Structure formats: structure tokens, C-alpha cells
Structure 1
Amino acid sequence: MVRGQSVDARTRGAAGDRRPRRARSRVVGVTATTRSVPVSRDRGPVVRALARPELGAVIGVVVTAVYFSTRTDSFATAGGFAAVLDIAAPVGIMSVAVALLLIGGEFDLSAGVLATSCGLVAGLLVDEYGVAIWEAIGWSLLFALAVGLLNGLLVTRTRVPSFIVTLGSFFALQGLNLGVTRNLTGEAEISGLDAAAGFESARVVFASTTLTVGGGAFHAATLWWVAVTLLGVVLLGRTKFGNWIYGSGGAPESARRIGVPVTRTKVLLFMGTAAAAWLVGTISAVRLTSVQAGAGVGDEFVFIICAVIGGCLLTGGVGSALGAALGALVYGMAREGIVLAGWDRDWFALLLGGTLIAAVLINTVVVRHRSDGQYG
């Protein structure tokens, strides 16, 4: 069996396979993938590079960096780079998780609000009930995983599109964030987390300044971003679960027929996105020592945009964790570059929209050419 062969092609070959289902699953776990049409290894490195899903993000990083470096001297400095990473890190953590979910063929529109919910759960436990910070963080993680599990089960069991299910979760969480916080505290904000027992150790883990160079402060969130990106890259490229993700998004029915646990894979992806939301919410809450109940609205679109810039298709089955991280870097550079260049911030949305359209066009061309065999 040739590695990189499509799920549909192998399904035809597996029709007469009389081995037990468990045995076939082991084979599928090692070899099945739906990474579109793979690039032939006898092609040159340039041709293979042009077929990578990260192509659009790499172009975006280079163009954005060069452009703003010529517009302001402050951009290409340690301080400017630190500011870019400070913006990109939380977005990048979520974008990688959202990218895996998109590759698996699903959306999560509740991710941004869920990050706020996790911070509020921890904050309310600390502020209203005197719970130690680490215990509160643990409870907020359980809350996030429960929301992810619920989203995943609703999508996979009811077959209702994830766009609708998570849109409902978005509004439900938004209402809970505002309603519960105001009812318990009389305000739409929770503060004073730094007074909780164990806060200093939590600050070191989630919000410390890890390095200061040339006036630029690099924070722990950047290390978390790198760790999450590496985890995503390894999962997609080196594990059986990565093959399941591609199969679940690219050809779910064919994947089921050759033993891929599509339902379990999608549920785990929703829970993974929820865990990333917990991490981002915790980083923000610990760093700011406060949580705004109305925060996070609209962030879900930023995560999806970064994932698409990184090579993900909204139809599923195609994408890259590294590309999503680079997409977040493009976002951070554009947002900080506009400020340093002295532009009106109102233009940022236009720039972001134009970048998204360009990324979609590049992704479409790359996938079409790969399918036609022009890249191998």
C-alpha cells in the first residue's frame, strides 16, 4: 500500500479485505491520510514547497514583515518583535487548535467566549468562595472540557452542523458570562485574582516575563504558543490520530468504512479546542488579574481567519498546525505594525479581510494544482 493514497482509493481495495475490523484499523492508523493529493518525493524541493498548505502564511509573514520594516524603524527591533509575539501568542494557541478542528471538518464559534468563561469560572471561585488559584484553575479546565464534550456530542450524535451547534453555545456562554457575573458580583468584571493563595506560582507558569532583550519583554504565553504548535505538528504529522483527523475531515464516510473512529476523533477535537480556550483564558486572567465578562466576542473569527491564512480549507481535510501558527504571526505583525506606523486602527479590519481573501485564493490554487497533479 502506498503511503499518501487517498481514503477513497483504499476503501475500494479494502472492500474485499476479510481481516477482522480491529486488524484493519491498525493498518489504517499507520497509513491512512487525506492530506489532499500528496506531493511526489521525486519532485524538486521548490515544487514540493509550492504545494505546502503553509505557502500562503509564509508569503504573508515575509510580505508583512518587509512592508512594516520599511514603514517604521520601531518594527524591526527587539521591542517591536516582543510586542508582535505578545499579540500573536494567545491568538496562535487558539488558531492551532481551531486548525485541527477545521481539518477534521468542523467549526467552533464558541471558542473566544469560552476562553472568557474559563477565566470567569476561576475568578468567581477565587473572588466569591475563597478558593485557591490552582484549584480554581483546575475547576475551570473541567468546565472547558465539559463544554467541548457537549459540543462534540451534539454535533456527532444529532448531525446538526457544527456551525449551528457552536453558534448556540456562543450565545449561551455569552449570556452566562454576563448574567452570572452580574448576579454574583453586581458588576461585569472580576478582579483581585492576585490576592488568591498560590497566585505567584500561577503567575510564573502562565504570565511571567521569561526574557528581556533590548527593551522587549517576552512572556510565558509565547512558550505556551510554541509548545501547542509543536504538539499540533507532531499530532498531524507523526501519529495515527493525525491520520484520523485528516480522514474525518476529508472523507468521513470512506474513513469510517476502513476503521477510522470518526465520531471519537471529532469529539476529541472539540475538547482539544476547549482546552486551548481554557489555556488562553487562564493566561489572560492571571496576567491581568481580572476578567471582563463581555470579552472574547468576535475572537472566534480571528482564530478561523488565522487558520485559513495558514492553509486550512473550510471544507475540511486540508491544513497545517504550523501554518495556523504562522497565520497568527501575520495577524500580530499587522496589528502591531499599523500602530507603530501611525495608521488609523480602523484600517486594520480592511487589511485583515484582504489578507483572508488572498489566503483563500492561494489555498484554492494550491489545492487545485495538487489535485490536477501539477505539483506531483
Structure 2
Amino acid sequence: MSNDQTSKAATAPAKDERVKELNRFHKAIIRPELGAICGTIAVFVFFLVLAGGTSMFALDGVMNWSTVSAQFVVLAVGVCLLMIAGEFDLSLGSMVGFSGMLFALLVMQLGIPVWLAILVTLMACAALGAMNGWLVVRTGLPSFIVTLALLFILRGVTIWSAITFNRQPVVSGVGEVAAGDPVAWLFGGKAFTGLFQWFGEQGVIATFTRGTRMGQPVVDGIPMLILWAIALVLIGQWVLTRTRFGNWIFAAGGDPLAARYVGVPVARVKILMFMVAALCAALLGVSQVVEFGSAASDRGIMKEFEAIICVVIGGALLTGGYGSVVGAALGAIIFGVVQQGLFFTNVESSLFRVFLGTILLAAVLANTYIRRLITGEK
């Protein structure tokens, strides 16, 4: 062996036998988004075949399932970040109903301006999220138990407040009051209406041919909830993958003890993630009230579980420390497409729950296999 070869051999890093070597295939499948990407493609192909002749993939049909998907995306972003940090929040569905009811009662019963009511609602929900996080961090109790308790508390408070102050479980009339508020438009309005009107005039998109809306475009804009969903995904993915705080989120969920030893403020990270998740739920709750013009005490039921399923489909591990905001968003899109696709294919809507359970089980099995690849467990 020459002197140069001896020098290179001496300076080459020693191979650590504790590190499991992965081939290219294994490196590809440990990407969090891969399963969600494959699932999204499969779902679209499936409904293109079965519902291709319907209006599901016409512009109005696309806008329909995109709006439904956006509801799941908004919740899934907050849940994804929280799960990567190693925690759960089962109160988010109740938070959706609570935030909507709080906003509606502030406007209709107290006469507070819409913009101020929105601000107060968001602040109140952020405080509840912080309380959840503080209780989990300070007491050491599982977040499952703490947030399960708040699930029942918030749902009970929502129903009680509606009956006490409004004498019925639905608070109506918010739409008329919010119609002239510029801030309310950001939560329940539509963007690019002028552009869609021009598209209709040019014959690019379909228009109504009869009735009071004759000549108006069938799709008159993009709902703001869709834009909120896109913005949250972009911001969430950027924070998670491009910032030091994103590394802290992964560390807090992956190995909290080791993270504390290297200076990561684990408690602060977890509390902030609970707040982010609560704000996402409040955003959805307020948007629904502005869009529908009313608040209902039963809104948000089961949303917390559906959001968790979206995140698991997106590749997040239930043990924390691994996941992707983009994957969670794709999981939410799968939800929206399937939910609306069953309608277009005239399939019994109750089968949607069968789909949820099946895909959840498949996603957990796949994620368990991926975790074993990463950790080298048998």
C-alpha cells in the first residue's frame, strides 16, 4: 500500500456499527410524505375511473371537494406539529364548536364589532391551548387524558352558553352583521371574484343559463378557507424544515430528555404547539360561522379524530419526533376527495367511516414498519 493510500485509510471516518445502513429503496420509503403521495394518486385515479363522467372534476366539483379538504387541512397542520412534538389534543373538535359559539355570542348578544369578536375568540382559544400545554408539562399527565377532559368541558360549555344566552343551540344572524366587516371577509369571503367574473364573460368557465344568476360564473371565487389552508401548509413546512425551532419540535417529540440536555426548551415548545393547534381550530370555527352565517353547538364533533387520521396518513409517528406538514395536508386532501367522491358515485355515505378505519389501520402499520427501519428494531 502506498503512503497516499495509507494516509487516506487513516483519515477515513470509522464506520459506526450502531448506525443501520439503508439502501436507496429504504431511504425513499422513510420519507414521511411518500405514503400520502401514493394514497392521493390512488384516490384520484379511483374516482377518475368511477366518477369521471360526473361533475366531480368540473370546476365547481373541484372547488367543492377542495373546500371540504381545506377544513381538514387547517386542523391537520396544527395537529401535525403537535404530534411531532410528541403530544395529542383531543379537545380540538370541541374547540371548533366553542370558538364559533363564542364568536357568535359576542357579536349577537353583546354587540361587539365583528373584528374585535374574532380577535377575542382567537386569544381565548390560544389561552385554552396554553392551559392544556401547561397542565401536561407541569403535571406529567398524558396529553390524551388532559385534552379528553377539556373535550367534554368545552362541549358542555358550548351547549350551555347557547341555551342560556340564546335559548336554542343555534345562533343565527351573524352573516348579516358580518357582511360589512372587512376583517370578516378574510375568514368567510372569496378571493379573485373579479377574475372569475371575467373568465365567465370570456367563456373560459361555465356560467348560469337561467334564474336570477343567469350569466354569472358557476364558480365566483376561491373561498378564503382554501387560501388559509395553503398558507398554513407553506408556513408550517417552512418552520418545520428550515428553522431551528423546527428542529426543536422534532427533538421535543423524539427524545425530550436528550433535547433538554442540549438546551432545547422542551416545555416551551410543547406549550406553543398546543397553542398553535388551538388557533387552527379557532380559525376553522370562526370561518364556518362567517361562511354559514350562524353558529351551532354541535359543530366540530369527531373533527379531532379525523385530523389525527389525516396526520397519521401523512406519515407522522404516534410516538412523536417524525412527520411532515405536507404529508398531513395530503392526508386531508384524501379525506375531502373520498368524502365528496362517495356522493358523486352514489355510494352510501356511511361507508366513509369504514374507509377512515381501514386507512388508519393501514397507515399505522406502514408507519410502524418505517419506525423499525429508522431505529433498527426487530
Question: Which TM-score tier does this pair reach, normalised by the shorter chain?
Answer: 0.7 to 0.9
1:328 equivalent in structure 2: 332
- The answer as to 2:356 corresponding to 1:352 is yes
Tell me how far 1:362 sits from its aligned partner.
1.9
Match runs of 1:173-322 below 5 Å: 173-196=154-177, 199-210=180-191, 212=196, 213-214=205-206, 215-216=218-219, 218-322=222-326
Question: Shift in Å at residue 84 of structure 1?
Answer: 1.3
In terms of Rg, which structure is larger? 2
Partner of 2:29: 50
Alignment check: 8 A CA contact 1:88 1:331 kept: yes
Are the counterparts in 1 of residues 73 and 333 from structure 2 also a CA contact under 8 Å?
A: yes
Taking the aligned partners of 2:122 and 2:40, their CA distance within structure 1 comes to 33
1:138 corresponding residue in structure 2 = 119
| Deviation readout 1:292-340 (Å, 9 max, x if unpaired) | 0122121110000000000111111111111000000000011011000
Cα deviation per residue 1:17-60 (whole Å; 9 max; x = unaligned)?
xxxxxxxxxxxxxxxxxxxx9998xx76x664322111111111
Equivalent AA in structure 2 for residue 266 of structure 1: K
TM-score by length of 1: 0.85
Once the two structures are TM-superposed, the CA of residue 355 in structure 1 deviates from its matched residue by 1.2
Q: CA RMSD in A?
A: 1.9
1:370 pairs with 2:374 = yes
For 1:152 and 1:332, how far apart are their aligned partners in 2? 30
Farther-moved stretch of structure 1 (217-226 vs 316-325):
217-226
Q: Distance in 2 between matches of 1:286 and 1:87?
A: 16
- Determine if contact 1:151/1:166 at 8 Å carries over to the other structure: yes
In 2: Cα distance, 1:323 partner to 1:204 partner: 29
What is the aligned partner in structure 1 of residue 347 from structure 2? 343
Distance 1:308 1:199 in 2: 40
**SS of 2:222's equivalent?**
strand
Contact 2:99 2:121 in 1 (8 A): yes
Gaps of 5+ in 1: 1-36
Displacement of 1:351 = 1.0
Q: Which residue of 2 aligns with 1:66?
A: 45
How many residues get paired?
A: 334
1:77 aligns with 2:81: no
Is the CA contact 2:20–2:376 (under 8 Å) kept in the aligned structure 1? no
State the TM-score, normalizing by the size of structure 2: 0.84
Opposite residue 300 of structure 1, the aligned amino acid is: E
Deviation string 1:200-219 (CA, Å, 9 cap, x unpaired) is: 42342112233555544531
Residues 236 and 191 from structure 1, CA distance in 2 versus in 1: closer, same or farther, beyond 3 angstroms? Answer: same
SS in 1 for 2:57: coil
Q: Distance in 1 between matches of 2:342 and 2:180?
A: 35
Q: Give 1:152 shift.
A: 0.6
Structure 2, unpaired ranges of 5+: 1-18, 197-204, 207-217
Tell me the CA shift for residue 195 of structure 1.
3.2
Give the letter for the 1:52 counterpart: R
